[in-house]
Amino acid sequence: MAAAPKTRLSPPHRAALEGNPWFTSIPRAQREALVGAAELLHVRRGAMVFRQGDTINAAGGGFYGLVAGSIKISSLRQDGREAILAVLEPGNWFGEITLIDGSPRTHDATALEALDLLVVPPEAFVQLMRDGVFANAIAAMLAARARMLYGLAEDATLRSLRARVAHRLLVLARGDATQSPHTRSNVALPQEALAMMLGVTRQTLSKELNALAAEGVVALGYGRIELLSLDALQALVRTG
């Protein structure tokens, strides 16, 4: 990854950040301090932003803000099986855990397309965390992610596969990690990637999606799933 000099954000970059609920919840002074501490990186498609096991001192390490492109957060087993945990869209910030506890990166972060990425160096992140308002904002981010993880754990242990599919579609409709208050009617994600998120085979997922399509709950297209009835999906999640 090649770094560009620190610069003012372009209007599209600024709009991406301002569209994220977590970022806009922070007072303006702390938002500007965060952006002002970052460098803008341009990352090619397929490049690894960081790898599982990277230390805090690894090249390019820091707290990241995605302003263009999309990133896959995943884990790869020794047998080659991959689990996709989240797909990050512009506006999301990530990578704070290693900077907080000093332990290695927990997962891989891979560019699904060319990226524009803000990177706050570790030493600058430490300085930002000395501000109580910013530290509280980071705590709120971690709390929201913990709630999401508990929800996914509940899915895996208590819900049927049909309910798990419905829940994940609803999460993706709100931007996955973004969790926007606004729900989209389309999920732009290949079925193979959704299967990896759910930990099932592509064939098993296809059976569930086709059943939902037959009931008029979703419509299937190339690389996308249209959500025709949010109420029906929510009912599946409630009944499990």
- Residue 114's identity, in one-letter code, is A
Look up the pTM and report it: 0.84
Alpha helices, DSSP H, located in the chain: 11-18, 21-24, 28-36, 96-101, 122-129, 132-158, 161-173, 191-198, 202-214, 230-239
Task: Please report whether residue 148 resides in a domain.
Answer: no
CATH number of the domain within which 103 lies? 2.60.120.10
Region 59-66 average pLDDT: 87
Q: Count structural domains, the chain.
A: 2
pLDDT at residue 2 is higher than 50: no
pLDDT on residue 180:
77
| Residue 75 and residue 36 share a domain | yes
Q: Which domain holds residue 227?
A: 160-239
Bridge partners, 193 (sequence order): none
Model confidence over 178-234: pLDDT tens digits?
A: 777 788 898 988 899 999 999 899 999 999 999 999 999 999 998 899 999 999 999
CATH number of the domain within which 209 lies? 1.10.10.10
| Residue 223 and residue 171 share a domain | yes
* Residue that is last in its domain, among 143, 172, 207: 143
| Residue 185 and residue 104 share a domain | no
Task: Please report whether residue 155 resides in a domain.
Answer: no
- pLDDT category at 60 given cuts 50, 70, 90 is low
Task: Please report whether residue 153 resides in a domain.
Answer: no
Task: Please report whether residue 180 resides in a domain.
Answer: yes
